[in-house]
A and B are shown apart, each in its own frame.
Chain A
Amino acid sequence: MSGPIQTNVETLRVRAGELFDAMEWPTPSEEEWRRTDLGRFPFDDYQVDDERSASTTILEDWSGRDLFPESEFAAAARFEAGVCVGASGLDSLGESGAILALSNEDVRDLGDELPGPGANAFEKMLETTLGRIDNRVEAWHYRGELHGAVLYVPAGVEIATPVLLDFSEKGQMALTAPHVFVILESGASVQLIVSLTTSESDRLLCNSGIHASVAEGARLELLVIDDLGSETTHFAHRRATVDRDARFTQFEAHLGGSLVKSRSEAELAGAGSEAYLNGVFFGDNGAHLDIRSVQTHLAPHTTSRSLYKGVVAGSARTIYQGLIEIDEEATQADAYLTNNNLVLDDGARSDSIPSLKIRTNEVKCSHGSTTGRIDQAALFYLMSRGFTRDAAQSTIIEGYFEDVAKRGGPLAIASVMGAITRRLAGRAA
């Protein structure tokens, strides 16, 4: 089925641009955007740094050890302000047949080095991606200056150690669009860590995307840590298509930021596939975090679980919108969704909206949601053991988050818990 490649990153950008022109910015009359009103959002104030794209790529050896001292990575790459500044392991990864392609001067070339089947899979993924754009913010993401990577793992290849992609975004009033494409062919397996940090002082807008295609019997573990500065606006578009008997596990941490709107969708497209979406979110001060997870069951005998835990403090507002959707074809689907929210301060606000849309009867489907304050008995217990109130509170919150973080593995615990402890210490100070 090989033919000339019709769709590449350049055509994606052009067609997304056409969609962008045809669409309006989302308004609160659309359910998904009802609680995040972009009516007055100064989209035009944010600009892509033209000099950035012209600057020369410096590819130093970067192992990721400064982020995760204890870990070995199969390959690692670091982007600063949209430019790839360091990488390692690309060649050794290549020996297994897997490819980590990085955008450098010209993002339009991204993915050019993929071999025949990989190029086809990438083209198919770009087509799917285009077909799914349903709002102007997402169209905007693709139309702009993308930077990022394509991770391709061919059939049957299992990568033993994780792959790390680190994005560090900065620039006053900068508009950045990091993107990661992940393609796993049948039976492939890999763990990918995407770390996104933004400058604490710069007011910037990060419009990010991660799209994964997990073919038959493949295993993808995705760990995404967004550790954002207090002036950052973050729009995140994440989707994984999971094929027959494949498994997709995602852990995402949304920490900080002033305005965050994120959607993670797992599409169970093949019979017997599984998806596990886990997440933590933490909003403090005046932050507004609107986090959505979607479990879409399209095929029979599919299983999905979501667990999202949030903490909201100060005068922040968090919104969790979860959806389980079971298509008519998805008989014997088994889905569960849990959302827990801790409200630390009066003045903080937490909305929880777990929804179910069920189109067939042979299913097991449920959700649970709780919102409350810190267990006062636990707080009292710790304080009676000599903890200060703040220390006791931090300890309880750490335990609360750790329950989810451990589903992301040791790296999630290390990075997420570190960031949370830092944020809690900042609160107490």
Chain B
Amino acid sequence: MKLLLDPTKCDGFGFCAELLGDVVALDEWGFPVLAGGNLPAERLRAARQAAKMCPRRAIQVVP
């Protein structure tokens, strides 16, 4: 599983970086930069929560 970000929806709220600091960093303007590749199994729960909490529904967990 990995994270998929729709940059057209993202408004840089930054909740994802808050919940997934080891997978999502923020750039200098506060927009998420995703670490590539598959999510570590132990981060899946947090990733799903981040997807649910995103106010713009910009981030998804996809196969």
Answer yes or no: do A and B interact: no
Residues of A within 8 A of B (CB): none
Residues of B within 8 A of A (CB): none
